[in-house]
Each structure stands twice: as structure tokens, then as C-alpha cells.
Amino acid sequence: INLTNAANASISDAQGLGTITDDDGAGNQPPTAVTLMPSSASLAENASTASATVLSTISVTDDGQGTNVLSLSGTDAASFEIVGNSLRLKAGVVLDFETKPSYTVTVDVDDASVGGAPDASATFTLNLINVFEVNGIDVQKGQAQRSYVRYLDILFDRGGQDLLDLISNNRLQLTKFDLNGNNGMVVPLPTTAAVGSQIQMDFGTQGIGGNRNTNAGDGYYQIAVDMDQNGSFETTKYFHRLLGDVSGNGIVDAADKTQVLLAQGGLYSVENDANGDGLINITDTTLVTRAFGRKLKGGLFRDD
């Protein structure tokens, strides 16, 4: 036995039995790895995010000592959350392949008492699946008036065979309601063609309803599309036709009559042509006057 300070120490002879415990363990060590199972996933852009979506299970390689804290980092971290050992997409995240096709988030683990900050990390990638979608409708080639409607275009996010299939497999449906949004009745589709990323409908020179000079075509319309081929027309868009409604606001009033009267004798504008015959004359004024007071029920939503 060596004494480090002999002046202040003494040794006495003694005998006895005892146990010496050799504790040469390394002590608390930092976690060495984070594992995500799986490390990537795919989700359709139209998947519901009304509630959080579990994407991956998190496991940490560690010696079992100390306290490990999980956290998220990266540009897209705000779209994710950790609950227990699950990585989840937060509820309410708006998914849209066209604006953001993928998300990446880093899962970090840190034992603050040892190691670095963080001690280990793993990256998760969420890829969105581009779903065939309806982007909107265009009534009468962008015109505001709804007195005469000949054209209806359905706008999609892509064209090609998908549009041809919609037409050939009868996956389009047009329903006419009265101006109060009641008494819906499926009506025959007009001439229909796929052009670029649009399905274009032409109701003919007399317009929707078959007579440009009567209110036979007046109504609240729904164009519906069976996008997923399940027989249900789940994607719907709405518009209206109201003879005399040259302003397109859903009511025939003094403003419409004034608009037509002022246009007579001036430069032609389709927005002032109540019956779409290429002329603005006494016939248009008469049609607006006869329809005075007719209106679409307030609150009926229209996509165009």
C-alpha cells in the first residue's frame, strides 16, 4: 500500500473479511441513434387531415440512463408533431401537390446531461400523390353576364386520356334546380369535348334551356364529376342562368335595364347582349323588362 501523505497517516495491522466492489462502468452515455419506421411515406393530396395522421414510429438507441427528449427541426417541422413514440402529420395541414409535393422533417433526440445537442437525428420524408382534380369551371368563356349561357368549361389539373375517360364512361352529370335551389332534375349533357386540360360543353346557339328568348333555361345548375370511378358524382361545381341578368349578380333589376339601354347604339359588348344574338336592341330591353324582379335565391353558392 502506498501512502500519498505519509506524515499524516499510519498503518495498523488488522485482519478481517470484506467485499470490494469494482464499479468501473462508463456511467450515463448519450443516445447513439434515432430510427424511424418507416423513414418515408406517401399520402394522396386529397387525404383528410381533419385529424392527425400517424406516419412513423420513433425508436431511440440508448443505454437506458438519463432522460432523452425528442424534438422536431427543419423547414417543415411546423406541419408535424410527436405524440409518445409516434411521428404525426398535424390536423388541419392543407395538402396540395401542385404547390408543395413533399415535406421533410428531422427527428432529434437529446440527453441534456451528456453528449451534444442534439445527440442523434433521423430524417423523415412525406411525399404527396398527385390526384386528378377539378380546378374550377368557366361559364360563358369568362363573361360576367348570366342572361345567355352557351358555353360551360370544366377546368382540370391535367388533360389527356383522363378527360376522354370521363366523357366516354358517362362520369359527368348536369342537374338543373329552380331559382330557389329546389326540385333538382338531371338534364342531358350538351355537345362535350376534351380540349387541353378542359372539358368544354356547348349548348348550341340557343343556349342552355334551348331558347335564348325565354326563361326556360333559368335555374341553378350543378355540374358533377365522378373523379374516382366509383359511380358517385362527388366533385360538384355550381352556376346559374337567369334571362335578363346582364350584370351576373343573380337578380334582374333596374341596373340591368339601364346597362342594356345605355349599350344600344354604342359599341357591341357581349356583356350587354341579353339573348346572345349578336345585337343589342329593343329585343334585349324587352327581355330584361319582362324578367324584372326575377332572382336567384340569396345564399346559393356559385363557383363562377
pLDDT tens for 178-216 read 999 999 999 999 999 999 999 999 999 999 999 999 999
Which of these three, 108, 129, 150, is where a domain ends?
129
* Same domain? 177 vs 236: yes
Q: Phi first, then psi: what are they for 163, rounded to 5°? A: -70, -40
| Contact yes or no for 63/91 (Cβ under 8 A) | no
Return the CATH number at 74: 2.60.40.60
Instruction: List, for residues 97-107, the tens digit of each pLDDT value.
Output: 989 999 999 99
Domain total of the chain: 2
* Same domain? 177 vs 95: no
Residue 25 has pLDDT above 90, yes or no: no
pLDDT band with cut points at 50, 70 and 90 for residue 152: very high
End-to-end CA distance of the chain: give it in Å, rounded. Answer: 97
Structural domain includes residue 71: yes
Mean pLDDT for 275-297 is 97
Which of these three, 129, 148, 168, is where a domain ends?
129
Structural domain includes residue 115: yes
Q: Which domain holds residue 47?
A: 33-129
Structural domain includes residue 207: yes
* Same domain? 151 vs 247: yes
Q: CA-CA distance, 158 to 131, in Å (whole number)?
A: 10
pLDDT band with cut points at 50, 70 and 90 for residue 2: low
Which of these three, 129, 151, 175, is where a domain ends?
129
| Contact yes or no for 157/101 (Cβ under 8 A) | no
* Same domain? 229 vs 146: yes
* Same domain? 69 vs 177: no
* Same domain? 147 vs 269: yes
Q: Which amino acid is at 221?
A: Y
* Same domain? 148 vs 48: no
The chain-wide mean pLDDT, for the chain, equals 93
Instruction: List, for residues 250-269, the tens digit of each pLDDT value.
Output: 999 999 999 999 999 889 99
Whole-model pTM: value is 0.72
